[in-house]
Structure 1
Amino acid sequence: MRVSLLSASLFLSWIITKTALGAQELSTQSDSQKLEDLLSMEISVASARPSIPSEAPAVVSVITREEIEQSGARDLVDVLRTIPGFDFAVDIWGVVGLGFRGLWGHEGKIKLTVDGMGFNEIMYGNIPFSNHFPVENIERIEIIRGPGSSKYGNFAELAVINIVTQIGSETPGLKVTSTTGLYDAGFARENVAARYGKEIGSDGYFGVSLYGGMAQQSANTYHDPLGNSWDMKDNSDLKTQNAELVFHKGDFYAGFIYDHHKITYRDDYGYVIPENAHVSFTTYNGQLSYKSRITDNLSITPNFSLSVQQPWRKTDVRVEHPSYYDPTAYQYRLGLNVDWDINSNVSTLIGGNYEWQKASYGGDESSRYYLFSGGEQDARFDRYSLYNEWSVKTTYVNLTAGLRAEKNTGYDFSYAPRVCLIKTFDDLSLKLIYNHAFRAPAIEQLTDSIKTGVKLKDETSDNYEIEASYRISNTQNITGNLFYVRMHNAIVYNYDDVREMDNYINAGPVGSIGAELQYRIVDFWGHMTLNYSYYRPTERSAHYYNIPNKDSMFLGFPSHKVTIDAGYKVTKNLNVNTTLIFNSARYGFDEIDRNTGTPVVNRHSPELVANLYLLYKNAFCKGFDIGFGIYDIFATNHSYSQPYNGGHAALPGPGREYVLRLSYIPPI
């Protein structure tokens, strides 16, 4: 049955592609502009000034609102799994995190921002993903597939994901969306999203968005390394509430986001516990800025941002229990940017920030496990950063060069230079990129190193990338890149069995080398995007990530991944979309040898996950859209392996799911 279903999926993709390619000659000029729109879309994730992808000083990917809508993506996991290099794995407590190019980015190495506001929690640097961030209100996602430390500082060592919401892009009007999902075995999800935006005069905008989501992590069963089981059906809640406000008038901008994400779990640190437990992540983000235009070529922008967070909050056990955790973290930042266009070919950005960070534990019980050094409930740190970026255009090559210098009172001086050379020959674009990036210890890692007397060093990395992009025709484009990354003093998670507490250590060098490829065609009949990514370890001194007797890959992440996203316009309003995600074998420590008590590594076979989604626009009336999809058609039941030797078996993923999505944009 599995073979026949696999054949059916491949046949479906072939039919869509064959039909599309056969109709390619019938394309019109207006339709062929769609690829042009994608290639000429300005993005701001990679540099001080907006640029089109081929001129951005980084390897970048852009996912548009239309692509998200047509694919029927349920959450950010669905979207990012189709991007070269990205994949997901399990940490602890039911939390699913992100990896990139074979490396575990969940440990504060991948930065996520929403309308410019950061979502890495500052106690550890983590981001939980499953059914968390609402895709229904996204306008586009801009991704640096590579370091962003020079621009963003900490947590941007491997990659940067910038979500631009519909109100963040100042979309007017009202939109309401409902997403309902059912597994083969019961309830899967119920998400409701709404946004409203209104223009204020000729130079202003006000927008608000709301989101509430309830989902089940899976309807399958988790088996821990000792063989104990947890039936996740109706027993693995993922609850999210999110609200955002945006106000813009002239050169003044204000934004605010509230986000609360709560997970029900029983997998704990890998071994099933007898009763349900809960962990929550709460974030309040705000930012203000005013762009003062001194001359036509010179502007000064002071800015202020704040973030109040309660990450990894677990209070459903007694305060003296090792897993009781009740932190509140505060971060206030003052910044100033000076933006100067020296002439039409040379520009520079000079800026600086001061950050004040504080963390506190709730309550005053001395029996609690988590206290800062000296038994204190509070810890405070200051951080200073300066950065400068130059953009120089010449007849021969375009140059972007930047440098960021950062000092925190809790760790050593950090710096992040980058250089990018770009040369364009008609339809061919070439990039040569070097980044020296860093990942500095977060608050808990700083305070733990003070308590143990072993000071953590900054993790640093050297990154080399080459990219070539060629426009084959008005409807086709192909892009390929090679990368090499070597990390030094890798900061890795560890569990101290003696103290029964989390801690972090500096490990030896770790790195990877590989290649990524994308082919894209957009025409009047629809679209197809084919992605391939490959990595291989180059440094394996951080044994935590290694597979015994296998040096061709790291734990948790496949070395090969192929994705196909193909959409066919059956009629003007009806679109059929199929998404295929193939990954090669993965490995994880899923069992314990009962005789020796040592972990046993298991091989997870190569797998194919296939999704099918039908979107009918303007059904019944203009602005009312209906979408229906089947996800994981073949019941592959993809799971999330743990990408380090931490005693956690693979956590079941969603499995086969039937989704109905309704959205309405009234004519107001």
Structure 2
Amino acid sequence: MKQKFMLWFMVLWCFLGFSAFAQEEPVKIKEIVVTASRVEEPASEVASATTVLTSKELKEKGIINVVDALREVPGVQIVQTGAFGGLTTPFVRGGGNGQALVMIDGVPVWDPAAPAVGDLAAFLPHLPIEQIDRIEIVRGPQSVLYGPTAMTGVINIITKKGKGKPKIRVFSEGGSYSSFREGAEFLGETKHLKYNLNYMRLDSSGISKATGFPERDGQRFHNFSGNVEGKIGKIKIGTSVNYNSAAKDLDGWDFATSTTTDALGYKEESDLVSVKSYFEHEILPSWRQKLVFSYTNTDRDYTKPYEGHYDGRLYYISWQNNLEFEPFTFITGVDYQRETAAEGSGIEGKNFDHISWFGEGILRWKGLYFSSGIRYYHHETAGDKVTCRIASAYIFPTKTKIHASYGTGFRAPSLYQIHAEFYGMKIGNPDLKPEKSEGYDVGVTQGFFDGKIEADITYFSNWFDNLIIYDLEEWKYQNVATAHTEGIEFTLNTRPVSWLRLSANYTWLNAIDTTNNTWLPRRPMHKGSGTIVFLFKDKADFGLTGTYFGKRFNSQNNKDSLGGYFTVNLSARYYPTSYLTLNLRFQNLFDREYEEVKGYNGLPFMAFLGAELKW
């Protein structure tokens, strides 16, 4: 049944795409501005493998949170310990937990009290699309641009800013498993000021996170974000706030049998606060500088039987200067971070300070794009490190773009990995060394039919050394693993006519633990998705998305396997007036049973009906 539906889905995708060329004049794919080099650039010039997801496109697909958006990105795998708010880990190009940097508005956001540096597993499921303008995913080593946690890539979540006349939007949605979402937004701008306030809440009774149990593990969360930006002459000053409060039921783990188990009353309550302030000044037409201050606090409480309290705080200061002398652009700056664990199991009162200098040069000349950069990094415990990166692209008159990049990266051990205790037993290891990596990619982007279709194919390869794992024999963290990942990413996007948009992507991945010659756990060899969106001007739109996730192993020893699965999501929106939108969406339309982690349920079939008012 799964194979038959996948086949029919592919046939429908191809038929619609090619038959549409015989109809009205096409709508050419627009150039998208991204931030792949800490400066704005046209997507057509970027040498790094980059994907941009806009809020408009995500709404057309019926996607409501960041996690589901990332599932459809080539080279990115999402692993979640159960539906309805389970711990969530993004693997980029086969890398591990915390090796891809998550940012909100260009500022790193993670939990310093979590097991791995860069870990935002407790909060990633609760970031709603309603507050987001776009998500930029840059794949490949990016430590030169964004620091040591960007070993395999960067996920930059960019929130909305005020624009135009004051607008108000409210929405409500209800659906399966007593699930409800409500929210409101107020935004606009004046001559010198942009402003945006956004609130959203969600609650659901959910299903059991662990397989084989009847009780429901629900979740609820509240999310507030706001930003304001003032501009006078050539000076910009702005502040943004993101607050997330969540509570969810969890299930336990039986250490004797290594299986999930029901844990009645086991809950996690968490709060995340992220505050950013910035100052931008155009000193000269060729010289701009930006100063950023940010503070992130992540607070997590766990009830019995696995009681604990973790409070991590991250302080960040960045000073960046952009110098432009055509055809050259030079970027240089200093980043400072302090990681603090105010409370935790053996890590309370511990902190790290690290400071780094970075520099990058960019050349744009007659279709050629070339950049190179270096970062010198000093970490309080990991010592001094240097990372480098080069990237280049060339666009031929035929609209063929060849692109390639190479970079090195590293990640220092976390506070938890060095100092942690578990029920009085020391599991941290102060002798840990930083993880190291290097990687490259090379690819071709080609436009067809005067820009109606754009396709890209990219090969990548990464090597990892000194990987930190938890040694079950020694009962502590150790540097014992090396790994190699390689793969191919393919994307295809087209909007041949105004009423139709098609997109597809596929990733082939080979991810090997070269220490033990085993497959890295929870990384599928095959992954892909395809989307068909019908746009009926200002009357309605309809989206259908199919996603395939291949077979993979669940554990490091490759004894437990997880089956592949294919899911289908459907969404429809109807606009009876310019002020009112009615929406209907279905997730996992054919109720496919699956697990992303052994012993944890995937998302079942769910249906939602909602409405939105704006004026």
For the residues of structure 1 that align with 2:465 and 2:48, how far apart are their CA atoms? 22
Q: What is residue 218 of structure 2 aligned with on the other side?
A: 237
Higher mean displacement: 456-465 or 238-247 = 238-247
Describe the shift of the 1:239–1:579 C-alpha distance in structure 2 as closer, same or farther (beyond 3 A): same
How far 1:518 moved relative to its partner? 0.7
Residue pair 2:113, 2:340 contacting (<8 A) in 1 also: no
- Please state if 1:126 is matched with 2:119: yes
Q: Unaligned regions of 5+ residues in structure 1, if any? A: 224-228, 363-369, 591-598, 642-648
Q: What is residue 565 of structure 1 aligned with on the other side?
A: 531
For the residues of structure 1 that align with 2:137 and 2:166, how far apart are their CA atoms? 25
> Counterpart of 1:73 in 2: which secondary structure?
coil
Output the amino acid matched with 1:656: F
Higher mean displacement: 17-26 or 471-480 = 17-26
Describe the shift of the 1:205–1:540 C-alpha distance in structure 2 as closer, same or farther (beyond 3 A): same
Q: What is residue 636 of structure 1 aligned with on the other side?
A: 592
Q: What is residue 604 of structure 2 aligned with on the other side?
A: 655
1:576-599, CA deviations, whole angstroms, 9 ceiling, x for partnerless residues? 211111222222259xxxxxxxx9
- Please state if 1:204 is matched with 2:204: no
Residue pair 1:300, 1:336 contacting (<8 A) in 2 also: yes
Q: What is residue 326 of structure 1 aligned with on the other side?
A: 309
Q: What is residue 135 of structure 2 aligned with on the other side?
A: 141
Output the amino acid matched with 2:120: I
Alignment counterpart, residue 551 of structure 2, candidates 567, 585, 592: 585
Output the amino acid matched with 1:655: P
Residue pair 1:412, 1:458 contacting (<8 A) in 2 also: no
> Counterpart of 2:223 in 1: which secondary structure?
strand
For the residues of structure 1 that align with 2:330 and 2:126, how far apart are their CA atoms? 37
Residue pair 2:521, 2:558 contacting (<8 A) in 1 also: no
Q: What is residue 411 of structure 1 aligned with on the other side?
A: 382
Q: What is residue 241 of structure 2 aligned with on the other side?
A: 256
How far 1:662 moved relative to its partner? 2.1
- Please state if 1:102 is matched with 2:94: yes
Q: What is residue 492 of structure 1 aligned with on the other side?
A: 469
Q: What is residue 62 of structure 1 aligned with on the other side?
A: 52
Residue pair 1:469, 1:477 contacting (<8 A) in 2 also: yes
* RMSD (Å) for aligned C-alpha atoms: 2.7
How far 1:355 moved relative to its partner? 2.7
How far 1:469 moved relative to its partner? 0.5
Q: What is residue 25 of structure 1 aligned with on the other side?
A: 22
Q: What is residue 70 of structure 2 aligned with on the other side?
A: 80
Describe the shift of the 1:169–1:327 C-alpha distance in structure 2 as closer, same or farther (beyond 3 A): farther
Q: TM-score, normalised by structure 2?
A: 0.90
Q: What is residue 389 of structure 1 aligned with on the other side?
A: 360
> Counterpart of 2:27 in 1: which secondary structure?
helix
> Counterpart of 1:208 in 2: which secondary structure?
strand
Q: What is residue 247 of structure 1 aligned with on the other side?
A: 228
Residue pair 1:137, 1:193 contacting (<8 A) in 2 also: no
Alignment counterpart, residue 112 of structure 1, candidates 94, 102, 106: 102
Output the amino acid matched with 1:488: D
Q: What is residue 470 of structure 1 aligned with on the other side?
A: 446
Q: What is residue 339 of structure 2 aligned with on the other side?
A: 357
For the residues of structure 2 that align with 1:480 and 1:209, how far apart are their CA atoms? 38
How far 1:231 moved relative to its partner? 2.5
1:362-399, CA deviations, whole angstroms, 9 ceiling, x for partnerless residues? 8xxxxxxx224xxxx41132211111111122447321
Q: What is residue 566 of structure 2 aligned with on the other side?
A: 608
Higher mean displacement: 117-126 or 556-565 = 117-126
Q: What is residue 37 of structure 2 aligned with on the other side?
A: 47
What is the number of residues matched between the two proteins?
594
Residue correspondence of structure 1 range 227-626 to structure 2 within 5 A:
229-232=212-215, 235-250=216-231, 251-268=236-253, 270-311=259-300, 313-314=301-302, 316-317=303-304, 323-341=306-324, 343-361=325-343, 370-372=345-347, 377-395=348-366, 397-426=368-397, 427-448=399-420, 454-473=430-449, 474-494=451-471, 503-522=476-495, 523-541=497-515, 543=516, 551=518, 553-569=519-535, 572-588=538-554, 601-616=559-574, 618-619=575-576, 621-626=577-582
Identity among equivalent pairs (%): 17
Describe the shift of the 1:15–1:600 C-alpha distance in structure 2 as closer, same or farther (beyond 3 A): closer
Q: What is residue 178 of structure 1 aligned with on the other side?
A: 172
Higher mean displacement: 326-335 or 242-251 = 326-335
Describe the shift of the 1:192–1:171 C-alpha distance in structure 2 as closer, same or farther (beyond 3 A): farther
For the residues of structure 1 that align with 2:163 and 2:14, how far apart are their CA atoms? 33
Output the amino acid matched with 2:8: F
For the residues of structure 1 that align with 2:67 and 2:38, how far apart are their CA atoms? 28
Q: Unaligned regions of 5+ residues in structure 2, if any? A: none
Output the amino acid matched with 1:78: D
> Counterpart of 1:521 in 2: which secondary structure?
strand
For the residues of structure 2 that align with 1:480 and 1:615, how far apart are their CA atoms? 33
For the residues of structure 2 that align with 1:298 and 1:27, how far apart are their CA atoms? 46
Output the amino acid matched with 1:659: F
> Counterpart of 1:230 in 2: which secondary structure?
coil
Describe the shift of the 1:624–1:638 C-alpha distance in structure 2 as closer, same or farther (beyond 3 A): farther
> Counterpart of 2:354 in 1: which secondary structure?
strand
Q: What is residue 593 of structure 1 aligned with on the other side?
A: none
How far 1:505 moved relative to its partner? 2.2
> Counterpart of 2:15 in 1: which secondary structure?
helix
Output the amino acid matched with 1:279: E
1:263-284, CA deviations, whole angstroms, 9 ceiling, x for partnerless residues? 2111347431442211233221
Describe the shift of the 1:623–1:162 C-alpha distance in structure 2 as closer, same or farther (beyond 3 A): farther
> Counterpart of 2:508 in 1: which secondary structure?
strand
Residue pair 1:167, 1:195 contacting (<8 A) in 2 also: no
For the residues of structure 1 that align with 2:581 and 2:439, how far apart are their CA atoms? 44
Alignment counterpart, residue 183 of structure 2, candidates 188, 193, 216: 193
Higher mean displacement: 279-288 or 9-18 = 9-18
How far 1:12 moved relative to its partner? 5.4
Higher mean displacement: 326-335 or 531-540 = 326-335
Describe the shift of the 1:657–1:408 C-alpha distance in structure 2 as closer, same or farther (beyond 3 A): same
How far 1:532 moved relative to its partner? 0.8
Residue pair 1:633, 1:656 contacting (<8 A) in 2 also: yes
Higher mean displacement: 461-470 or 520-529 = 520-529
For the residues of structure 2 that align with 1:371 and 1:538, how far apart are their CA atoms? 33
Output the amino acid matched with 1:258: Y
Residue pair 2:198, 2:225 contacting (<8 A) in 1 also: yes
Q: TM-score, normalised by structure 1?
A: 0.83
How far 1:71 moved relative to its partner? 0.5
The structure with the greater share of residues assigned to strand is 2
Residue pair 1:414, 1:458 contacting (<8 A) in 2 also: no
> Counterpart of 2:60 in 1: which secondary structure?
helix
Output the amino acid matched with 1:435: G
Describe the shift of the 1:603–1:331 C-alpha distance in structure 2 as closer, same or farther (beyond 3 A): closer
Residue pair 1:20, 1:568 contacting (<8 A) in 2 also: no
Output the amino acid matched with 2:579: G
Residue pair 1:134, 1:193 contacting (<8 A) in 2 also: no
1:78-125, CA deviations, whole angstroms, 9 ceiling, x for partnerless residues? 211111122222469942322233333xx2112112222333212233
Output the amino acid matched with 1:630: F
Describe the shift of the 1:487–1:179 C-alpha distance in structure 2 as closer, same or farther (beyond 3 A): farther
For the residues of structure 2 that align with 1:113 and 1:180, how far apart are their CA atoms? 30
